[in-house]
Structures are given as structure tokens and as C-alpha cells.
Structure 1
């Protein structure tokens, strides 16, 4: 799977790490290049050697985290193609994608994170393909073709419902806002059972079906990651701009 380009200097890795910690603690708007440089132990000019603007640095960080999250899902699917079943796949996504910084900031109500995604038109278009609603549609389309999802409802309706479920579970997990009694078991299991009831049929798919479906879902993730990686490379200082 394509990987984000690595900067030659370990200073760049420190800058990215410092940026993540500061944004997680304070949000996007309040973090400055000067603060990032100070936390990373470098001068402001060093930051600009790698990223022309703060927005480019933040988009690079967000893109890297999205790619790593999808890579984790990919590795799990390669090891166990049975995870491609809708219920199990959504539980995997819940646990994996809770980690990326962007999702945490969005669920915390950080409107600046949304504006960041729209900073460049091409950034918005690229990251839109990695958005939950887009992935829900693309992945469910594959699973329907392999008989892993019921076809008595429109794909658009199913994708909308799945996205709404994921968003709700993400929100509860990331903001710790829960008005009912605490769960005594893994929320991922609750999500898996809900999605299984909502989307899966009664037939038991064979290993060949699961393997073929997993391979196509992996291809969806690969295309999304390739788009993001290509865009991250365009953010590097000195890279040609469109």
C-alpha cells in the first residue's frame, strides 16, 4: 500500500509529533508555528523548510493518520478475511479510527478542523473520498455484489444508515457523552450486532466469498490511500502546485 513520503530529517518527525500533541490539547486555531517549533526543539524557519504553511503541515498530519488507520484495517483484513462481514468490519473501523486526530477534533466540535479540510479545493476533494459516508457507500457496494449485504433496500439508504450508526458510536466514544447507563461490554460488539441485524442476510458465506470480498474492499482502501499519499507529496515544500 502506498505510504506518505518520509522527510529526510528526524526533525520533521519531531515537528509532526509536536503538532499532533498541541492540536489534540488546544485545537487547530490556537496552535501556532512558533509553538510547534518550540515544542519540537527547532526554529520556526526549520518548520517552513518542510511545509510552506501551517495548513499544509496540519493536512500532512491528518493525511498520515488517515493512511495509518486504513493500513491497520488492511492488515487486519489480510490476516482474517472474515472481518469483511459488515458487523465485524464496522466494529474494526470503530476501534481503529477512534485514534486519528482529525476524528477526535471533529467529534469534539472543532469547526476549524472542518475548515482545514476545505482549505484547498483539491484537499477537500481528496479527503472526501476517505470520509465515512464515502467509504460506507464504496464498501457496501462491494459487499452487496458478494451477497454479504441484503439487497431489499437501496444502497444509498443502507450507506446513510451505516454512516449514521458509525457517527453516533464515534461521537459517544470520543466525547464520553452518554446519558444512559454505562455498557458492561465492548461497544464494538454492540455495534457489530446492530449492523449484522440491519444489513446481513441469513445465509452463511463461505471462505471463498469472504476472501474475494475482502480482496475488493482492500482495493477500495488502496485507492483511497493512494489518492491521499499523492496529495501529501504535493504539500511538500518545492513540490509543483496545480
Structure 2
């Protein structure tokens, strides 16, 4: 059986091609015909798996989110300290700095997404809502373990994290004489800021049980992402 005759590998090939073209050309310019040509298959084969162009490119976005969250889970299970907001954001920053394609998709680059951003509003809105619910549960676990400060309520702390998370690549583009262009240096500045503003001074690293509970929360987000992904496949 050839590689392209195996459905899972064929889908990956289509998604790889669609991702590359989306980032290079933007949603408006890419056609299913071009995706098929880039993947080395027929247009009908793309439609065998995806009903519409929108379904295909929503799956591209969902796959980017899956990869970022899966990386977070792996790091937490390898090192419980990664369950802390400051460490998690630092690691995500560095992971996205190393992968400009995933960065632009994960952060919702309007220049390349165009109309897709509006067409994806319901799907990504549901995902954002689920992420917010998980964020609240995550911070609840850390607060119960004495790892977060209590001078702000959870909503305020999540707002702070979201503001930093959503804005760090805008900030990265600004000139700064005190923050060199080295991504690791910028990541350390963000880690320091979040640790000082969110985390309890002198608190120990999260225990293994707390870290695993956090990992399980994010694993439930992976399940939600994958359910949305599967809904778009024939």
C-alpha cells in the first residue's frame, strides 16, 4: 500500500500543504486546487476528506492548537515546575519563536487568516471558552497548593496572563535597548514578570500530583480540539 493510500498519512499531507500555502499566500488566495497540487494528489481526494475549503483550513488551525497544547502537557509531565504560569509562558514563547508557521496560526495572524477568522468565530470562540474554563481550574489548583498569590482574584490573574500571552509578539516587535532580540532573553523577561505578579514568593515547585492534575486539565482541552477536528473530516 502506497503512502498516499493510507488515509491518516494522506490527511497529514493535505494539512501540511494547506498550512504552507495559508502562511505563504493567505486564506483568500489559496484554493483547494492549489492545495491538491502542492500535496501531489487530485482535488477530489482533498474533498474525500474535507467537505469545504473552510473545513480544511479550520482543521489547519485546530492542528496548530493541538501541537502547542500537547507540547505544554509533555513539558509539565517532564518537569512539574512547568505547571506554573511563568514557566509555561516562557516555554510556549520559545516554542513559537522556533516555529514561525505555528506561531502565526496559533496567535491568529489576521493578515494570513483574512475572512477565515470570521468564518471560524464560532469554532475558535468555543475553543477560547473552553480554554478559559480550564484556565480558571488550573489557577484554582495552583492557589489551593499555595503556589499563587492571593492579592488578586482568579479573574484578575487570568486577565493578566491573557494580556501578556496575547501581546507578547506585539511587544517583541518593539525596539528595546534593555531587551535584546535573543528569544531566550525575552522569554526570561516575561517569566520574571509573571512570576513576580502571579506566583507566591518563596513557594516550592508544584508537587507531582498537582502537576499531573494540571496536565490532565490541558489533556481535556486536547480532547475538545480533536473532537472539533474530527467533526470536519468526512
State TM-score, norm by structure 1. Answer: 0.81
| Shift, 1:124, TM fit | 3.8
* 8 A contact 2:149–2:200 mirrored in 1: yes
CA distance in 1, matches of 2:19, 2:112: 17
Cα distance per residue 1:125-167 (max 9 Å; x no partner): 5422465x55543432221121111111111111111111111
Q: Which residue number corresponds to residue 66 of structure 2?
A: 67
Residues 212-231 of structure 1 aligned to structure 2 (within 5 Å): 212-231=209-228
Q: Which residue number corresponds to residue 119 of structure 2?
A: 116
* 8 A contact 1:34–1:44 mirrored in 2: yes
Q: 1:130 to 1:40 in 2, by over 3 A?
A: farther
Task: Select the residue among 172, 179, 194 that pairs with 2:175.
Answer: 179
| Shift, 1:35, TM fit | 1.2
Q: Relative to total residues, which structure has the larger helix share, 1 or 2?
A: 2
Q: Which residue number corresponds to residue 37 of structure 2?
A: 38
Q: 1:48 to 1:182 in 2, by over 3 A?
A: farther
Q: 1:179 to 1:60 in 2, by over 3 A?
A: same
Q: Which residue number corresponds to residue 3 of structure 2?
A: none
Q: Which residue number corresponds to residue 232 of structure 1?
A: 229
CA distance in 1, matches of 2:108, 2:94: 16
| Shift, 1:39, TM fit | 1.1
Q: Which residue number corresponds to residue 128 of structure 2?
A: 128
Q: 1:232 to 1:167 in 2, by over 3 A?
A: same
Q: 1:181 to 1:79 in 2, by over 3 A?
A: same
Q: Which residue number corresponds to residue 81 of structure 1?
A: 80
Gaps of 5+ in 2: 1-5
Number of residue pairs matched by the alignment: 222
Q: Which residue number corresponds to residue 240 of structure 1?
A: none
Q: Which residue number corresponds to residue 208 of structure 2?
A: 211
Gaps of 5+ in 1: 1-6, 238-242
CA distance in 2, matches of 1:218, 1:236: 27
| Shift, 1:189, TM fit | 0.5
Corresponding residue SS for 1:30:
coil
Corresponding residue SS for 1:67:
helix
Q: 1:81 to 1:234 in 2, by over 3 A?
A: same
Cα distance per residue 1:51-70 (max 9 Å; x no partner): 00011111112112211211
CA distance in 1, matches of 2:10, 2:70: 24
Q: 1:192 to 1:108 in 2, by over 3 A?
A: farther
Q: 1:113 to 1:222 in 2, by over 3 A?
A: same
